[in-house]
A and B are shown apart, each in its own frame.
Chain A
């Protein structure tokens, strides 16, 4: 067994940190898009629009039923061969799209369950004052479902941050891609991947602290 090259590791930290913004950017954009898409899918699953329901079921089934890596390859390497307008797409965009579609399928199920967990009286009160279905969902049901689903959704966000590391397989130089490049130059694979692992870990831990604050904030309306 050889000793760890600590100097190399310390020197690598600022290099990889430089790619943290790109990782967080991909995760944040994909999360926002996935939240919107998942909410739409979830609302459809609850009110069951005739003619649309089977499509949504199929969508959720496919994106939950196949690996994220396979989906990313399918979009980035496969789809442009069939749809020529996609040849311009870059790795970052493809990764964001893939993460969005993949995670929206999972999040849709979490939000759907949360919607059905919102008390019946809340729906009736919204209907009784003459809200349209859309107003009721936007103003009353979804905000309350969001609170119920929040811990699960934060979990998916954490998963998504780690999922951005797959973007390196699409040629994107993010945290993982940068580490891979550094390691293949130095041959110190253990040191390099240990550094990047710890950095991901720290990011997730910081977010978990944020999760506690978010939950306190969301629960403020329910404190007695």
Chain B
């Protein structure tokens, strides 16, 4: 269970997140849509404390943080309860695909190396990249890198997986394989919060779609309702532009 209350983030005088309230049930798959610059990515980054929010509370599983008074320890435990998939993959450039996945298991979770290695190979097999275990990121295509990035997030076993426009930086030819992998993650009832512009994908896998604009949640609901019968005029305008 994830619960966010009054989450606020300012850059200078602009409120990028203007008091966001959001609950996500275990196993729920939530897709966030909206025009660029409306705080979608910032919302994800604040949940992982890559950006530091100014006010609000974040509750992920056992971890509950009042962000204004967050201690180092609380920030670490929040990060460990969430897993982040980056738009630009952000694989560790000095580590192989397998090592990228093992890193969090060994260094952060303190698991034995051989156990972590077994888990990493399992995850690589799931992502269809078993034969790339010993390849460095530079030798992988964009699609392969992002699949390793998703694998790295899967292996952690986090309460919540955050996807920040995972296909936006990809050449069109690689988008399909990354979405396929995300579908498989979704089938495992992993709790997911996804920022994406792939409307068809959102329609397929989302339990709920959230439309954000100006740092606020303007409208939310099941994809059928929100995408087919939008109530808010701004959402209607947005959907006309992207579809």
Contacts and interface: CB of A to CB of B under 8 A. Distances in A.
B101 to A, nearest CB: 10
B229 interface: no
Interface stretch (A131-139, A152-160, A166-174): A131-139
B110 to A, nearest CB: 11
Give the interface size class of chain B.
Answer: 20 to 34
B79 A143 contact: no
Interface of A: 119, 121-122, 124-132, 135, 139-140, 143-144, 147, 220-224
A122 B107 contact: no
B67 interface: no
Interface of B: 48-50, 76-77, 79-80, 82-84, 86, 88-96, 103-104, 107-108, 136-139, 152, 156
A222 B84 contact: no
A143 B94 contact: yes
B51 to A, nearest CB: 10
A119 B95 CA distance: 15
B79 A144 contact: no
B83 A129 contact: yes
A222 B91 contact: no
A143 B92 CA distance: 11
Contacts of A222: 93, 136, 138
Contacts of B138: 221-224
Nearest to A218: B94
Contacts of B86: 121, 124-125, 128
